[in-house]
């Protein structure tokens, strides 16, 4: 089989979905069994690319978030070849399900400014939008990071479900509609005025 298209945006996503579909069809995904330790297959995934190219906007975008740390000397490619920059982002998966995602953050002011520049953010725009962070960097913050587990995914796996909506008390549909409350719902002008908002033009 040969797949040809944009590597990250199309090829990787299509092959990932195809792999999961075929693995399910041919019984290659083990069912969780508390008595069988081999059924619980965890994996740390690291060395994600930092950037992906946006063909529509003709620019580089971040994949994780714009404050993600950079692995070793791959920072030297920030200006010359952003596609080679490796991020300090990580996922932990269980049987192919992403359970948690996180990263080590940038804690160096100059490196953060170089990243902003690679994203097409000028020094002036960076100071306007992220002054709270850039100013804090002047005081030498320590290396720091985090990870956010998806409790609903862990519960779904433990319950033997294949969709997290089966274990969420009030799940949204795939179109983000809430069948319980009918949200999203129209908001009248008086409510919008209270929070100083106005609807976007239909055009």
Per-residue confidence (pLDDT) for residue 191, from 0 to 100: 86
Percentage of the chain lying above the pLDDT 70 cut: 94
Per-residue confidence (pLDDT) for residue 95, from 0 to 100: 78
Residue pLDDT, tens place only, 150-163: 888 888 888 878 78
- Average pLDDT (33-41) is 72
The conformational region for residue 198 under phi > 0 = left, psi -120 to 50 = alpha, else beta, is: beta
The DSSP symbol for 11 reads I
The helix/strand count (H/E) of the chain reads as: 5, 6
112 versus 182: which is more confidently predicted? 112
Q: What is the pTM of this model?
A: 0.71
d(C-alpha 59, C-alpha 174), whole Å: 29
Per-residue confidence (pLDDT) for residue 103, from 0 to 100: 96
Residue pLDDT, tens place only, 42-78: 899 999 999 988 888 889 999 999 999 999 999 999 9
CATH 3.30.930.10 holds for 32-172+179-194: yes
d(C-alpha 156, C-alpha 165), whole Å: 8
The conformational region for residue 41 under phi > 0 = left, psi -120 to 50 = alpha, else beta, is: beta
Q: Is the pLDDT of residue 82 over 60?
A: yes
Query: What are the sequence ranges of the domains in the chain?
Result: 1-30, 32-172+179-194
Per-residue confidence (pLDDT) for residue 190, from 0 to 100: 86
């Amino acid at each position: 089989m040969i797949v040809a298209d944009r590597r990250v945006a199309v090829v990787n996503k299509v092959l990932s979905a195809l792999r999961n579909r075929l693995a399910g069809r041919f019984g290659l995904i083990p069912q969780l069994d508390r008595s069988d330790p081999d059924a619980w297959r965890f994996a740390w995934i690291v060395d994600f690319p930092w950037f992906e190219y946006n063909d529509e906007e003709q620019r580089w975008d971040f994949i994780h978030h714009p404050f993600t740390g950079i692995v070793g000397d791959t920072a030297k490619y920030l200006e010359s070849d952003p596609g080679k920059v490796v991020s300090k982002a990580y996922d932990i998966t269980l049987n192919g399900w992403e359970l948690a995602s996180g990263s080590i953050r940038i804690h160096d002011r100059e490196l953060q400014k170089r990243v902003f520049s690679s994203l097409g953010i000028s020094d002036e725009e960076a100071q306007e939008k992220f002054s709270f962070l850039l100013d804090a960097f002047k005081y030498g913050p320590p290396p720091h990071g985090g990870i956010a587990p998806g409790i609903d995914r862990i519960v779904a796996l433990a319950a033997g479900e294949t969709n997290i909506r089966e274990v969420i008390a009030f799940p949204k549909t795939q179109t983000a509609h809430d069948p319980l409350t009918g949200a999203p719902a129209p908001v009248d002008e008086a409510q919008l005025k209270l929070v100083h908002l106005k609807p976007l033009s239909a055009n």
